[in-house]
Structure 1
Amino acid sequence: MTPAVPQLSLRAVLLSMLLAMILAAANAYLGLFAGLTIATAIPAAVVSMAVLRVLGGGSILENNIVQTGASAGSSIAAGVIFTIPALIILGFWQDFKYSWVLAIAGLGGILGVLFSVPLRRSMIVDQPLAFPEGKAAAEVLKAGENPEQGVKTLAFSGVLGALVKLSAASGLRLIPDAAIGAGYIGKFLAFMGSNLSPALLGVGYIVGLNIGIVVVSGSVVTWNIAIPFYKAFLLDGNAELSAMAAGLHAEEVAGLLWSKQLRYLGVGAMLIGGIWTLFSLRHSLISGVKSGLAAARQNSGTVVAETERDLPMKWMLIALVIFVLPLAALYQAIVHQWSVSIPMTLIMIVAGFLFVSVSAYLAGLVGSSNNPVSGITIATILFSSLILMLLLGRTSEIGPVAAIMIGAVVCCAASVGGDNLQDLKAGYMVGATPWKQQLMLAIGAFSCALVMAPVLNLLAAAYGIGTPTPEHPNPLPAPQATLMASVSKGLFGGHLPWDTIAVGALIGAATIAFDEWLKARKALFRVPVLGAAIGLYLPLELMVPIFLGGVLAHVVERRHGYVHSHTADEAERDRIHRPGTLFSAGLITGEALTGIIIAIPIVVSGRADVLALPAQFQFGQFVGLVVLAVIAGLLYRTATREARAL
Structure 2
Amino acid sequence: MADRPLVPADQVISEITIKALILGAILSAVLAAANAYIGLLVGLTVSASIPAAATSMGLLRLFRRSTILENNMVQTSASAGESLAAGIIFTLPALVMMGAWSGYHWGTMTMIGILGGVLGVAFTIPLRRALIVETDLAFPEGVATSQVLKTGGVITDKDHPEYHPSAEAKRGFRVLLAAAGLGGLIKLLESGIGLLAGSVATTKSWLGGKWLFTGDITLSPALLGVGYIVGLNVAALVFIGGVIGTLIGVPLNWLINGDELMQLAGVSGDMTSWSAEDWENLAGTSWQQCRRIGVGAMMVGGVWSLITLAKPLVDGVKASLNAHRQSRAGEVPLRTEQDMPIPYVGLLILISAVPLYFIFLYALDGYPERYWIAAIMSGLMLVLGFVFASVAGYMAGLVGSSNNPISGVTIATVIVSALILLQLMGNEGMAAKLGPIAVMYLAGMICSAAAIAGDNMQDLKCGHILGATPWRQQVFQIIGVLAAAGAIPFVLSILDQGYGIGRVSPLNPEATPLSAPQASLMRDLSTGIFGAGIEWNYIFIGFALAVVLILLDQYQKRRGAEFRFPVLAVAVGVYLPLGLSIPIFLGGLLAHWQQKRRGTPEAEGNGLLLASGLITGEALMGVIVAVLAVSAPGKVPYLGDIALSSWLGLAGFALCFWYLAKKS
Q: TM-score range by the shorter chain?
A: over 0.9
Give the whole-Å Cα distance in 2 for the aligned partners of 1:254 and 1:275.
Answer: 33
- In the alignment, which residue of structure 1 is the partner of 2:399? 366
Measure how far apart 1:122 and its partner are. Answer: 1.3
Deviation sequence 1:499-536 (CA, Å, 0-9, x none):
22222222222222222222222211111111101110
Which residue, out of 442, 452, 456, partners 1:420?
A: 456
Are 1:4 and 2:12 an aligned pair? yes
Equivalent residue for 2:584? 546
Post-superposition shift, 1:445? 1.0
- 1:16-64 residue CA offsets vs partner (Å, 9 max, x unmatched): 1111111010000000001111111111111111211111231111111
2:400 is the counterpart of 1:356? no
- Structure 1 unmatched ranges of 5 or more: 563-571, 640-646
Question: 1:149-548 residue pairs with structure 2 within 5 A?
Answer: 149-168=171-190, 170-186=191-207, 187-238=210-261, 240-244=263-267, 247-249=275-277, 252-253=280-281, 256-258=284-286, 260-300=288-328, 302=330, 303-336=332-365, 337-395=370-428, 396=431, 397-467=433-503, 471=509, 474-548=512-586
SS in 2 for 1:403: helix
Alpha-carbon RMSD across the aligned residues, in angstroms, is: 2.0
Any idea what SS the aligned residue of 1:398 has? helix
Q: 2:639 aligns with which of 593, 596, 613?
A: 613
Match of 1:15, SS? helix
1:324 is paired with a residue whose SS is: helix
Q: Which amino acid aligns with 1:222?
A: G
Q: Return the letter of the residue paired with 1:150.
A: G
By how many angstroms is 1:439 displaced? Answer: 0.3
Which deviates more from structure 2 when the two are superposed, residues 476-485 or residues 182-191?
A: 182-191
SS at match of 2:193: coil
> Which range moved further: 592-601 or 379-388?
379-388
Q: Is the contact between residue 183 and residue 250 of structure 1 (CA under 8 Å) also seen in structure 2?
A: no
Asked if the contact 1:46/1:150 (under 8 Å) is kept, the reply is yes
In 2: Cα distance, 1:283 partner to 1:382 partner: 23
Residue 142 of structure 1: how far off its partner (Å)? 1.9
Residue of structure 2 aligned with 1:68, choices 62, 76, 80: 76
- State how far apart, in whole Å, the 2-side matches of 1:91 and 1:224 are: 33
Contact 1:31 1:37 in 2 (8 A): yes
1:643 alignment partner in structure 2: none
User: Corresponding residue for 1:558?
Assistant: 596
CA distance in 1, matches of 2:170, 2:63: 13
1:566 aligned partner: none
TM-superposed CA distance for 1:380, in Å, is 1.5
CA distance in 1, matches of 2:404, 2:94: 21
Tell me: CA distance 1:164–1:412, structure 2 relative to 1, closer, same or farther (3 Å). Answer: same
1:132-157 alpha-carbon deviations (Å, 9 max, x no partner)? 21111112222326121111111111
Closer/same/farther in 2, CA of residues 104 and 506 from structure 1, 3 Å limit: same
Mapped partners of 1:192, 1:614: distance in 2:
22
What is the alpha-carbon distance in structure 1 between the residues aligned to residue 292 and residue 94 of structure 2? 16
Corresponding position of 1:642: none
Q: Once the 2 structures are TM-superposed, how far is the Cα of residue 423 of structure 1 from its aligned partner? A: 0.9
Q: Kindly indicate whether residue 65 of structure 2 is the aligned counterpart of residue 57 of structure 1.
A: yes
Query: Displacement of 1:80 after TM fit?
Result: 0.6
TM-score (norm 1): 0.93
Distance 1:375 1:182 in 2: 32
Contact 2:124-2:457 at 8 Å conserved across structures: yes
Helix, strand or coil: the match of 1:249? helix
Name 2:629's counterpart in structure 1. 602
**Which structure 2 residues correspond to residues 32-181 of structure 1 after superposition, within 5 A?**
32-144=40-152, 146-168=168-190, 170-181=191-202
Q: Is the 8 A contact 1:85 1:465 kept in 2?
A: yes
SS at match of 2:351: helix
Q: How many angstroms apart in 2 are the aligned matches of 1:427 and 1:202?
A: 26
TM-score between both structures, scaled by the size of structure 2: 0.90
Distance 1:387 1:379 in 2: 12
Change (3 A) 1:57 1:632: farther
- Aligned partner of 2:106: which letter? Y
Change (3 A) 1:242 1:87: closer
Give, as a single letter, the amino acid of the residue that structure 2 aligns with 1:357.
S
Alpha-carbon contact 1:200-1:546 (below 8 Å) kept:
yes
- Structure 1 Cα separation of the partners of residues 127 and 515 of structure 2: 35
CA distance in 2, matches of 1:250, 1:286: 55
Deviations 1:144-191 (CA, angstroms, capped at 9, x unpaired): 2612111111111111111111111x3211011112232122121122
2:271 alignment counterpart: none
Measured after TM superposition, the shift of residue 280 of structure 1 is 2.0
| Distance in 1 (alpha carbons) for counterparts of 2:286 and 2:473 | 45
Aligned partners of 2:179 and 2:617 also within 8 Å: yes
Cα offset, 1:231, TM superposition:
2.1
Task: Report deviation, 1:468.
Answer: 5.1
**Post-superposition offset of 1:10:** 0.5
- Conserved 8 A contact 2:227-2:235: yes
Matched residue SS, 2:320: helix
Counterpart of 1:590?
617
Is the contact between residue 82 and residue 478 of structure 1 (CA under 8 Å) also seen in structure 2? yes
The 2-side partners of 1:29 and 1:574 are apart by: 25
Contact 2:217 2:578 in 1 (8 A): yes
**CA distance 1:51–1:541, change in 2 (3 Å):** same
> Helix, strand or coil for the counterpart of 2:372?
helix
CA distance in 2, matches of 1:371, 1:614: 38
The offset of 1:205, in angstroms, is 0.8
Question: How far 1:323 moved relative to its partner?
Answer: 2.3
- Contact 1:105–1:412 (8 Å) recurs in 2: yes
> Retained in 2: the 8 A contact 1:235–1:241?
no
> Are the structure 2 counterparts of residues 460 and 307 from structure 1 closer, same or farther at C-alpha, using a change threshold of 3 Å?
same
Matched letter for residue 617 of structure 2: G
Task: Work out the percentage of aligned pairs sharing the same amino acid.
Answer: 42
Q: Secondary structure at the match of 2:65?
A: coil
Shift of residue 636, structure 1, vs aligned partner:
0.8
Q: Provide the rounded CA distance (Å) in 1 between the counterparts of 2:306 and 2:257.
A: 35
How far 1:610 sits from its partner (Å)?
5.6
Q: Please report how far the alpha carbon of residue 474 of structure 1 lies from its aligned counterpart in structure 2 after TM superposition.
A: 4.0
Amino acid at match of 1:633: W
Shift of the alpha carbon at 1:591? 0.5
How many residues get paired?
A: 625
CA distance in structure 2 between the aligned counterparts of 1:194 and 1:529, rounded to whole angstroms: 23
Q: Is the 8 A contact 1:162 1:594 kept in 2?
A: yes
- Structure 1 residues 251 and 106: CA distance shift in structure 2, 3 A: farther
